[in-house]
Amino acid sequence: MTYDEQLARRVREILADESGLSERKMFGGLGFMLDGNMAVAAGSGGGLMIRADPSDPDGLIDGDLIVPMEMGGREMTGWLLADQRAITSDERLRELVQLGIDRARSFPPK
């Protein structure tokens, strides 16, 4: 299964003015990198993987719509997964992508 092309297009529109933007296919998804640091990724199930500040994840968790990211049965600190139902509105998608932008920009360029 490949990433959701429509979601990738929506994310590209949001990130269009960001400097240092690149895309990388990985794990069946499409990662959006800012100066080499991943901000968000369009997933194969239509969801959005978001890089977030691990010091305040509880404020972002939203039932089963936004959950801590798990890979291989282990929680990935600093990553959230937004179900496709959580990103139907452009405004909400923009808010979540901005979280990823802010976190990715908090790291030095690679």
> 40-76 pLDDT, tens per residue?
999 888 899 999 988 765 567 777 899 988 888 998 8
Question: pTM for this one?
Answer: 0.92
Once rounded to an integer, what is the mean pLDDT over residues 22-35? Answer: 94
pLDDT value of residue 57 = 57
- Cα distances from 4 to residues 9, 29, 31, 43, 95, in angstroms, run 9, 8, 12, 6, 19
Distance CA 9, CA 7 (A): 5
**Candidates 2.40.340.10, 3.40.50.1240, 3.30.465.10, 3.90.1150.30; CATH matching 5-105:** 3.90.1150.30
Once rounded to an integer, what is the mean pLDDT over residues 19-44? Answer: 94
**Domain-by-domain residue ranges, the chain?**
5-105
